[in-house]
Structure 1
Amino acid sequence: MPSLNEVLMALEEQPTDSAIYAATPWRADSTVVVASWDAPPRGLAYLLEVELARDVLEVWSAWRDGASPSAQERCEAVIHYAEHDAYLPA
């Protein structure tokens, strides 16, 4: 199974109508499954919808003058949003 880092680096390839489920505690190397809402995987916790994760990364970039987030920054931004229901401040 892929890691959170791997899924977020290839986020544009993920189905828009799916959700990201990850092993807790959430970290860059957490095991991840991208699945539809009607088939959540056992043993993994809901993290975010794919579309919302894309939005989180777009906001991260916009708040940082168009910079592209590194793999670690992608993970930090998505995990922060999942835990706080808020974008990671610049």
Structure 2
Amino acid sequence: MPTLLELLQSLDEQPAGAVIYAAKPWTAASDAVAVAFDAPPSDLAYLLEVELAQDVLEVWSSWRNGAQPNALGICQAVIHYADHDAYLDVHH
């Protein structure tokens, strides 16, 4: 099973309509899966929809003048959104 870090680095390759589930507590090293229509593994918790995670990263980039987050920055932004229902502030 991929880590959350690995899965988030391949967001564009995930199925349309897929939902990301990951082991808590959410970290870059958490086991993760993107599920389109199947039930998720029972040991993983809902994180975000793939499309919403992509939106989180677009906002991250937009708020930082087009910069792109590194792999850990991707995880940080997505986990922050999942935990707080808010985009990661520019000062983080």
Percentage of pairs with the same residue: 63
SS of the residue corresponding to residue 48 of structure 1 reads strand
TM-score, normalised by the number of residues in structure 1: 0.96
> By how many angstroms is 1:39 displaced?
1.4
2:65 partner letter: D
Deviation larger for 59-68 or 38-47: 38-47
Find out whether 1:28 has 2:20 as its counterpart: no
Which residues of 2 match residues 44-83 of structure 1 at below 5 A? Answer: 44-83=44-83
SS of the residue corresponding to residue 7 of structure 2 reads helix
The two structures, once aligned, show a CA RMSD in angstroms of 1.0
Give distance in 2, aligned partners of 1:16 and 1:51. Answer: 8
Structure 2 unaligned spans of 5+: none
Runs of 4+ in 1 over 2 A off after TM superposition: none
Find out whether 1:18 has 2:18 as its counterpart: yes
> By how many angstroms is 1:15 displaced?
1.1
Q: What is the aligned residue count?
A: 90
Give distance in 2, aligned partners of 1:82 and 1:53. Answer: 9
> By how many angstroms is 1:38 displaced?
5.0
TM-score, normalised by the number of residues in structure 2: 0.94
